[in-house]
Homo-oligomer: A and B are copies of this chain.
Amino acid sequence: MMKYLIFLVILICSQQSVAQQNDSLFISNIYKEALSNGECYDHLRILCKEVGHRIAGSAAADSAILWGISTLKRYNLDSVYTMPVEVPHWVRGSKEVGYYTYSNNKVELEIVALGGSVGSERAITANVIEVKSIAELRLLDSAMVAGKIVFFNKAMDPMLINTGAAYGGAYDIRSQGPSEAAKKGAVGCLIRSLTLADDKYAHTGATNYDDNVRKIPAAALSSVDSRELSRLLKENPRLQFTLHLTCQNFPRKIQANVIGEIRGSEFPEKVIVVGGHLDSWDVGEGAHDDGTGVTQSIEVLRILLALGYKPRHTIRAVLYMNEEFGNDGGKTYARVVAEKNEEHIAAIESDGGGLTPLGFNVQGDEKDLLQLREWGKLLEPYQLYSFRQGWSGVDIGPLKTDSNVLYGLSVDSQRYFDFHHSNNDIFENVNKREHILGAAAMTALIYMIDQK
């Protein structure tokens, strides 16, 4: 009996080890295919250079949808289709005007309206009151703020090695700052751009007005201009700032998520979804945010097909429309999934930029983390080492249930906020290998989920 048991243990162990060797070999083939024949960087170039930036609601976003369909249709997928999504339609208008005057000097600045900002019928000229945070503003008497432009000069914390955490720590000045300023009677709002770089790029991004407060125009200044304005305000507290935005909101309209899939051979009704968002802000080219995630997701399908892999579960790439300004794409997708009673066993997102991958974050329980770490051992040869519980992605967030697991591609974030939501987010700032390695990592994870 004992002999039999020992034999059984050896048998199981050796089968496990054979399975692991097979997995290692397949993952190695994934990387070989990605690094030798990768197509995602070429796709990214076309998305960035021919479609360009593509805010939800815009004609460029329509072009991006058509680009998504035709790009997915290049491959031998089982289906490529769209899912209608209602999106906002906000238009920046003509080039923002922002300048300050003091003594006899007039200094024009490159400013950028925050996404969703109202316009001003005519140029607003007012004194500026600088605060470092919303908390500091709340302590001020309304009389000190009324009629002025509030300038939130809060920097991202350079000490945080994970720059996403630094963004999270300063993000409130953009999302809530304008309404908080309006509560005190301000007529306009300026924020220091959410970036760690010391440069002249202004960074936009959504602001979320409180519906119970007057909506005031809001724009971002570059980090360099913010420092200079702050310095001048100390010398010239009566300095005047002129702000003129011509942004407009139009009625919501219908655009679409773009979807491509390979049907599962064993469990076609169970879905593993991978994606990024197709929309971008209306500056730069939406390269890192999130052209890279979109093209990596398409590349996952391409690699699996190129290797002749027949997935057991359905593998679906979703290019979500409108992550940036209300997450309509992700919410709509999750709603449709629930309506159709589709089972999603896992969702993966890449929305941290096409930078060197470090590993994956998992949104799940302790057991899911342990499973990810087990898989992670097979990814060590590819310099992936970071497997933690944490943030997955905005688009896939609404998909979370008790029975599925969400994963976010974790990347080296040091440069990300140099580009994010600015004219600096262009194709040339994406490195081909870094981009491809992200796609390969996601493909490897999906393979392991599919094999489980």
Contact = CB atoms under 8 A, between A and B. Distances in A.
A46 B315 CA distance: 52
A385 interface: yes
Interface stretch (A76-84, A301-309, A431-439): A431-439
A385 to B, nearest CB: 5
Contacts of A412: 356, 412
A5 interface: no
Interface stretch (A30-38, A107-115, A213-221, A398-406): A30-38
Chain A, interface size: which category? Answer: 20 to 34
A432 B163 CA distance: 13
Contacts of A431: 414-415, 418
Nearest to A437: B414
For A32, A161, A198, which residue has the most chain B Cβ atoms within 10 angstroms?
Answer: A161
Contact of A434 (B32, B381, B414): B414
Interface string A247-272: 00000000000000000000000000
For A36, A356, A414, which residue has the most chain B Cβ atoms within 10 angstroms?
Answer: A414
A169 to B, nearest CB: 14
Nearest to A198: B432
Contacts of A196: 433
B434 A159 contact: no
Contacts of A158: 35-36, 433
Contact of A433 (B32, B358, B414, B434): B414
A202 to B, nearest CB: 18
A29 to B, nearest CB: 10
Contact of A381 (B161, B198, B414): B161
Contacts of A35: 158-159
Contacts of A159: 31-32, 35-36
A245 to B, nearest CB: 31
A216 to B, nearest CB: 33
Interface string A344-359: 0000000000001010
A16 interface: no
Contacts of A433: 158, 163, 196, 414-415
A31 B358 CA distance: 21
A432 B161 contact: no
A197 B432 contact: yes
Contacts of A432: 197-198
A167 interface: no
Contacts of A32: 159
Nearest to A383: B161
A102 interface: no
A431 B418 CA distance: 9
Interface in A420-452: 431-434, 437
B161 A382 contact: yes
Contacts of A162: 383
A356 B36 contact: no
A289 B431 CA distance: 19
List of 4 A-B pairs having minimum Cβ-Cβ separation, nearest first: A35-B158, A414-B433, A415-B431, A385-B385
23 contacts: A31-B159, A31-B161, A32-B159, A35-B158, A35-B159, A36-B158, A36-B159, A158-B433, A161-B383, A163-B433, A197-B432, A358-B383, A385-B385, A385-B386, A412-B412, A414-B431, A414-B433, A414-B434, A414-B437, A415-B431, A415-B433, A415-B434, A418-B431
Interface of A: 31-32, 35-36, 158-159, 161-163, 196-198, 356, 358, 381-383, 385-386, 412, 414-415, 418, 431-434, 437
Given A31-B161, A158-B433, A162-B383, 20 more contacts: A31-B159, A32-B159, A35-B159, A36-B158, A161-B383, A163-B433, A196-B433, A197-B432, A198-B432, A356-B356, A358-B383, A385-B385, A385-B386, A412-B412, A414-B431, A414-B433, A414-B437, A415-B431, A415-B433, A415-B434
